[in-house]
Structure formats: structure tokens, C-alpha cells
Amino acid sequence: MTTAYRIPYRNPGHAALHLARAASLAPSPHNVQPWLFAEVGHDRGFEVHADTGRRLLLTDPGGREATIAGGAALFNARTAVRQLGFRAVVDVLPVPRRPDFLARVGFGAHAPVTRPEARMAWAIGHRRTHRGRFAPGRLSESLLDDLSVQARAEGAELQPVHDADRLELLAELVRTAEDRHRTDHGHAAELARCVGPWGLPAEACLGHPDLTVLAGRDYLGLAHRYTVPVRSRRVGTGTVFVLSTPGDGRADWLRAGQALQRVLLYAAARDVVAAFHTQPLELPALRAEVRTWFTPGRFPQMLLRLGHAAPTPRLPRRPLDGLLGHESAPASGR
């Protein structure tokens, strides 16, 4: 496969740096940051590529989650373009024979940033993934409506799971997946390799993974050492959601990632944080169950909880000089 960029890259444009910084703050599975960025010309545009070497081969063999992360990075780049006062012109999967070339973002006509867009841009640096319980208190109905509007604007559906029986069913599917992951040595080793000061620092996952109704990832192998009584898992779960798309190809995964990030930034701007429980979507039979019971006719892409929590430190990111290169791809597909 052709390489689209040269790294390291000297003297990138100011706008390219601004976009790369914003894009790199997107969420990604276990903070693997499976992306590379390229400047087009000198500050004429920006590309988002998948860094296939960073894919989690056991957790995410088809690259679905890595592409969702790329979509989230793309949404941040779009938001950063708006922050500069230009419309973002986006070309998704611009070169069909290069599936890892996720998107090209160009600078369109000048259009002053609006207040909601500025708020979204502010949230890029303030959004964090939460693990564990949320503070007591429910999200308002109007916020739930707004979040679903945000997801729909990107072509996805964000569906809350309120009903107790349905929540119990989803919790069972998450628990089954998490139990399989915990007892699969290869999977546990892949997870352990992500933990460290370069990616997911141990301090970020010190809480027991079983504090809420939905089982969390056991990054540090804590579940083998002690258990949390089932009755005390009922508090602090927050509101649970399934994010889905009508199709299940790379364009749909990119759509899911952009919708996810739009929802997360909208929420973060209102002091609402997300926790993720994507384990059943990584096992085809369990993903099919989630689909049957929660998103019939559509494809589940993310499982998350939203609620209020104390702020947590920002997790590390790869240095920009190893991430941002210069476009060297031929102009085919434009």
C-alpha cells in the first residue's frame, strides 16, 4: 500500500498543526490512537489516515473500532476548521483503492464560527472518558433529546436504554463478553500491552471494573483479586445508550465515529461525561444479539453511559511530530 505521508515532517503550517492537535484528542480504544495526519499543500487541507500498525488484532480484527476512532478524529478536525472561521469541505474515503485513507478535509468559504460551534470546539480539550460510577442525578429529558439530534445530524441513532428489563439484558450481554475477554489469555495480554504511561496509564484504571450495572474492562486484572457485591452495582450507572448506523461498512464506521464525537463534545460542553462498554460488539455472536434486541434493522456501533463525574486528568497523546506528515499521495480519486 502506498504511504501517503512523510514523517517526520518539518515546518507544518499553523492550521495543519491546529487541526492535528484537535484530531489527536479524539477517543480511541485503549488510547491506541490508530491514526496519522497529513497536511495538504501548505495549509491548504488536511488528511486523516488509519495507522494500521496500531490496530488491536484480537479485539478489533476488522478495524471497525479503529475506524470509529478515525471518525471521531475527523469530527474534531472539522470542528477545528470551523473554529478558524471556514466551512469544512469533507471528502470521506476519497481514494477507493486506499481504504486506510479515511478522509480529506479542505477549507471552504469563510463563515464566522457560531456560539454552539465555539462551545463544541472548547470541549475538544476538556472531554474525558470516565470509568466507574457517576454522581447521583439524572440527565434532563431535553438533554437526551438534544443528544439524539446531534447523533442524527451525522447519520446515526443514539437510543437510550431506560427500561429495567432491557437494561438487565444489555448488562448480561456486556458481562458475557467481558467474562470471555477476561478468561482469554491472548486478549488479556493485548489489553495489558495498552496499559502504561505512553497510552492508558495504570492510574486511569485503578477503580474496580464491576462498580456499575455494566461490566467495565478489567485493564489491571482486579476482578481476580476481589469482587464487588451485585447489589452495590445498582447505583451510579447513569443513562445507558446504544449508538447505531443503518449500514456496517467503513463509511458507516466513520459516520458512527463522527456522531459519537459530536455527542461526546456536546455532552462535555455541559459537564456530562461518557463511559464505554463496547465488549459485546467485539464478538460477532454477541454483537448479533445486541442488534436483534436493541437496534433491529440497524448495526450497533457503540455502547456507552453518560452522567456527571469529577474531572479526571487528560490521558497522554502521541507527539505531533510523529503523527503529522505531508501529503505525498497522487491526486487520483479527487
Interface contacts to ligand FMN, rule CB under 6 A: 27-31, 65, 68-69, 72, 128-129, 131, 200, 217, 276-279, 315
CB-nearer residue toward ligand FMN: 287 or 326: 287
CB-nearer residue toward ligand FMN: 65 or 210: 65
Smallest gap from Cβ 26 to ligand FMN, in A, equals 7
Contact 33, 317 (CB under 8 A): yes
CB-nearer residue toward ligand FMN: 95 or 242: 242
Smallest gap from Cβ 78 to ligand FMN, in A, equals 17
Which set of grid coordinates corresponds to residue 132? Answer: 466507574
In angstroms, the CA 141 to CA 146 distance is 9
Burial class of residue 166, CB neighbours in 10 A (0-12, 13-18, 19+): middle
Smallest gap from Cβ 279 to ligand FMN, in A, equals 6
Q: Beta strands of the chain (E only): which ranges?
A: 5-6, 35-40, 45-50, 86-92, 101-110, 157-161, 239-245, 273-276, 299-307, 324-327
User: b/e per residue, 168-198, with b = 16+ CB within 10 A?
Assistant: ebbbebbbbbbeebbeeeebbebbeebbeee
3 state SS of 133: coil
In angstroms, the CA 39 to CA 74 distance is 14
CB-nearer residue toward ligand FMN: 88 or 281: 281
CB-nearer residue toward ligand FMN: 277 or 298: 277
Residue nearest to ligand FMN (CB): 27
- Cβ-proximal residues to 28 (8 Å cutoff; 6+ apart), any chain: 34, 35, 66, 69, 72
Contact 84, 72 (CB under 8 A): no
Q: How many CA atoms lie within 13 A of 60 on its CB side?
A: 21
Smallest gap from Cβ 129 to ligand FMN, in A, equals 3
Smallest gap from Cβ 16 to ligand FMN, in A, equals 21
CB-nearer residue toward ligand FMN: 83 or 279: 279
CB-nearer residue toward ligand FMN: 19 or 191: 191
CB-nearer residue toward ligand FMN: 95 or 177: 177
Smallest gap from Cβ 156 to ligand FMN, in A, equals 13
Smallest gap from Cβ 127 to ligand FMN, in A, equals 7
Contact 81, 88 (CB under 8 A): yes
Q: How many CA atoms lie within 13 A of 164 on its CB side?
A: 1
CB-nearer residue toward ligand FMN: 27 or 325: 27
Smallest gap from Cβ 318 to ligand FMN, in A, equals 12
Smallest gap from Cβ 140 to ligand FMN, in A, equals 24
Which set of grid coordinates corresponds to residue 139? Answer: 440527565
